[in-house]
């Protein structure tokens, strides 16, 4: 049985991961910062969950309608797209420069490794970060994708982002 339960991780202090030189805040730190958090309470709830292994037998892709409901209620800032017949979550950011884009990827990589669930990372036109999240094992969307998107929403990106807004066509 997988140790990754969907229950929120126990409260605790954050931890420093030397590999990525980053600090992952513990739940009580997230609670402390809740009032300054820009994300909705729902996003906070979802961001506390953990992904389950994508190859477990009870992971199935969800319908577009369910995906739309999840998107509206639980995860802000992401949009739904279909590519090659596969439903995916998509979000774009404009970063200050190319290196900040890679730093962004490092922050996302630490979450992906922790969760065993990985996004598609694009850094185009030197300062445009685009992230697609979908579950490869079922060629569609599962809870894991929304959990990962919520955790990415939770990242503190202020130092990395350009003042200009990301635009769709870039």
Ligand X SMILES: C[C@H](O)[C@H](O)[C@H]1CNC2=NC(N)=NC(=O)C2=N1
Give the binding site for ligand X (CB under 6 A): 53-55, 116-118, 135-137
Dihedral angle, C-alpha 161, 39, 78, 120, nearest 10 °: 60
Q: C-beta of 67: minimal distance to ligand X in Å?
A: 15
Q: How far is the CB of 80 from ligand X (least distance, A)?
A: 16
- What is the C-alpha separation between 13 and 30, in angstroms, rounded? 9
Cα separation, 145 vs 148, whole angstroms = 5
Q: Are 158 and 100 in contact (CB under 8 A)?
A: no
Q: How far is the CB of 118 from ligand X (least distance, A)?
A: 4
Which CB sits closer to ligand X, 107 or 161?
Answer: 107
Residue 63 C-alpha from the chain's centroid: 20
Nearer to ligand X, 96 or 122 (CB): 122
| CB nearer ligand X, residue 54 or residue 80 | 54
Rounded to the nearest 5 degrees, what angle is found at the Cα of 46, between the Cα atoms of 142 and 64?
35
Whichever of 129 and 141 has its CB closer to ligand X, that residue is 141
CB of 153 to ligand X, least distance (A): 17
* Tokens read off for 136: 């490869």
């Amino acid at each position: 049985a997988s140790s990754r339960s969907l229950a929120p991780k126990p409260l605790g202090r954050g931890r420093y991961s030397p590999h990525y030189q980053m600090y992952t805040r513990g739940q009580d730190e997230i609670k402390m910062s809740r009032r300054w958090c820009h994300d909705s309470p729902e996003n906070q709830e979802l961001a506390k969950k953990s992904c389950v292994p994508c190859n477990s037998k009870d992971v199935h892709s969800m319908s577009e309608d369910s995906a739309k409901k999840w998107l509206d209620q639980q995860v802000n800032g992401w949009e739904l797209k279909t590519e090659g017949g596969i439903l995916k979550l998509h979000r774009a950011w404009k970063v200050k420069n190319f290196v900040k884009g890679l730093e962004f990827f490092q922050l996302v990589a630490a979450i992906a490794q922790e969760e065993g669930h990985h996004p598609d990372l694009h850094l185009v036109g030197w300062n445009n970060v685009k992230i697609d999240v979908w579950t490869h094992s079922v060629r569609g969307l599962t809870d894991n994708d929304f959990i990962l998107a919520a955790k990415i929403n939770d990242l503190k990106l202020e130092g990395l982002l350009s003042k200009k807004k990301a635009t769709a066509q870039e």
